[in-house]
Structure 1
Amino acid sequence: MTDTRGSVHRDGEAPFRHAPGTPCWVSLMVHGPDTARRFYEALFGWEFRPGPQQPGPYARALLDGREVAGIGLLPPDRHLPIAWTPYFASADVDRTASAVRSCGGTVGVGPLDASDAGRLAICSDPSGAVFGIWQASAHLGTAVTGVPGAPAWNELTTFESERAAKFYASVFGYTVEPEISTDIDCTTLNLEGRPVADIHGVGNTLLRDRGPHWTTYFTVADLDDAVDRVLHLGGQILRQARDSAHGRTATVADPEGARFALLQSPL
């Protein structure tokens, strides 16, 4: 699952700029950012660097000096879920936000500037799943993926995949690859021949308090150890460890209830 999901830029090389439509960042907005940072620091070994501070208090998580994610304070006047939100790269956030609206989605926040780091918008697709758009300036986004402690993959759980895939393809220019199966409703979104995200349709079995949502997978070296650490740090196990074609995975939540998945890739 991780081999085509991102790039690492090494010291001395030019930073990697994400192509439009590529998942380029994951961000968590919470009521208690200090508590959240301590949880993820202990779980993934992250360090934190402040900024940008507009539109609100925010810190970027670093793994071995490379940026991988962000955690900020959820403004009390913004009714957003406590959830990891994937951001997709855009060359022009305002134009992409307009495409979101014209395709039946909603722009809940922005477009607005995040200091000199870039320009963003937070949107929801027609079913209500929340995602972000990022136009990079000083901050290019996630610098490493697919290694322990870094994002590996993003997956949308929704009512049915075909309609959702059509929306994202119209907004970001993806090609759509449905899985041929009589009992699984799954579609892969591809960009320039590379898979960038999956969409899973689960009918009406979605939790009422959750609804359609994106899930970010983070790579871990040892899934059982990571699950134990989640529990020890005050988190929850939402779906027990299981084997998949991409490796062993488990779905968990942090102390504020933000859901995410852990992935141990096969050797």
Structure 2
Amino acid sequence: MPAVTLRLAQGTPCWVSLLTDDLAGARAFYGDLVGWTYSPGPTQLGDYVRAELDGEPVAGLGVSTATGFPVQWTTYFAVDSADHTAQLVRACGGTVAVGPLQAERAGRMAIVADVSGAVFGLWQGEELTGREAVPEPGELAWAELLTPDAEGASAFYGAVLNRPVRPTDSDESALLVDGRPVAGIRHGAELRGHPPRWQVHFAVRDADLTARRAADLGGRVLVEPHDTARGRAARLADPQGGHFSVLETP
């Protein structure tokens, strides 16, 4: 009997991918900072590798082929049908930038944007189902949208992903899957003229130590380590300009 691959539940952040103008530099930086190793990935959109921990894929790194496209991390959400969800994105006022297209045998994907312009991905997993956020060093720990219109974004993602979005005790709302918060939506007062964006948070053992190490490796500390409701965190940038956060976990 053939093996059965189970996708993650629709709406679950399941993958993060970096588009950069210096793939070799990004591989070296993140490999040293969070311990990733790499293996080849799908090549439809250019050079692309999968970052791995203990042989398991946890993220993707690729070369941006668009002139002037910013170096950035993209959060992907698991969906049952990338084609159907892309249609819902358009129907709800968002845009579809890439796809849906087949990523070889790994799955089907699209890159889209919400009504405020925040970019995110859709992933219909096949051979590669993706990884649910977990508090293990080097893995995706949390995804959070910063937006000037948190109420509108909550309605958009609730409709597109067919999942409830509810206010939490903090200053954000949470996208729920099976009653569990899987991603945050927050009014981004700190955007200060920057476009809305999904922030990725990688789990680390020590946020202060990781911030210092990032600077030693040629990155930047954008927001110094500080205590949050989810744990001690820091906002960093890699040497190529890709922004990401680290979150200290037990």
TM range (shorter): over 0.9
> Does structure 1 conserve the Cα–Cα contact (< 8 Å) formed by 2:12 and 2:132?
no
Question: Given the alignment of the two structures, is residue 190 of structure 1 paired with residue 176 of structure 2, yes or no?
Answer: yes
Counterpart among 192, 196, 219 of residue 212 in structure 1: 196
- AA paired with 1:18? L
Residue 8 of structure 1 is matched in structure 2 by none
User: How many angstroms does 1:16 deviate by?
Assistant: 6.0
Residue 13 of structure 2 is matched in structure 1 by 23
Counterpart among 40, 45, 52 of residue 30 in structure 2: 40
Counterpart among 61, 66, 75 of residue 51 in structure 2: 61
User: How many angstroms does 1:173 deviate by?
Assistant: 1.2
- AA paired with 2:201? Y
User: How many angstroms does 1:189 deviate by?
Assistant: 1.0
> Does structure 2 conserve the Cα–Cα contact (< 8 Å) formed by 1:68 and 1:144?
no
Question: Given the alignment of the two structures, is residue 76 of structure 1 paired with residue 66 of structure 2, yes or no?
Answer: yes
Question: Given the alignment of the two structures, is residue 150 of structure 1 paired with residue 139 of structure 2, yes or no?
Answer: yes
Counterpart among 247, 250, 259 of residue 231 in structure 2: 247
Distance 1:26 1:202 in 2: 21
> Does structure 1 conserve the Cα–Cα contact (< 8 Å) formed by 2:207 and 2:232?
yes
Q: 1:147 to 1:15 in 2, by over 3 A?
A: farther
Q: TM-score, normalised to structure 2's length?
A: 0.94
> Does structure 2 conserve the Cα–Cα contact (< 8 Å) formed by 1:84 and 1:216?
yes
Q: 1:38 to 1:58 in 2, by over 3 A?
A: same
SS of the residue corresponding to residue 210 of structure 2 reads helix
Distance 2:101 2:13 in 1: 19
- AA paired with 1:187? S
Distance 1:25 1:100 in 2: 19
Residue 220 of structure 2 is matched in structure 1 by 236
Q: 1:40 to 1:180 in 2, by over 3 A?
A: closer
- AA paired with 1:165? S
- AA paired with 1:69? A
- AA paired with 1:99? L
SS of the residue corresponding to residue 198 of structure 2 reads strand
Distance 1:136 1:80 in 2: 26
Residue 201 of structure 1 is matched in structure 2 by 187
How many residue pairs are counted as aligned between the two chains? Answer: 248
Distance 1:202 1:248 in 2: 19
Distance 1:191 1:81 in 2: 31
- AA paired with 2:34? F
Q: 1:80 to 1:165 in 2, by over 3 A?
A: farther
SS of the residue corresponding to residue 147 of structure 1 reads coil
SS of the residue corresponding to residue 191 of structure 2 reads coil
User: How many angstroms does 1:17 deviate by?
Assistant: 2.9
Distance 1:118 1:100 in 2: 19
> Does structure 1 conserve the Cα–Cα contact (< 8 Å) formed by 2:13 and 2:182?
yes
> Does structure 2 conserve the Cα–Cα contact (< 8 Å) formed by 1:33 and 1:71?
yes
Question: What are the Cα deviations for residues 53-110 of structure 1, in whole angstroms up to 9, with x where unaligned?
Answer: 2232110000111111000011135x64311110001111010000000000000111
> Does structure 2 conserve the Cα–Cα contact (< 8 Å) formed by 1:16 and 1:143?
no
Among the aligned pairs, what percent are the same residue? 46
Instruction: Tell me how large the CA RMSD over aligned residues is.
Output: 1.8
- AA paired with 1:199? I
Question: What are the Cα deviations for residues 113-142 of structure 1, in whole angstroms up to 9, with x where unaligned?
Answer: 111211110000000100000111221112
Identify which range, 83-92 or 50-59, moves more after superposition. Answer: 50-59
SS of the residue corresponding to residue 112 of structure 1 reads strand
Q: TM-score, normalised to structure 1's length?
A: 0.88
Structure 2 alignment gaps of length 5 or more: none
Structure 1 alignment gaps of length 5 or more: 1-12
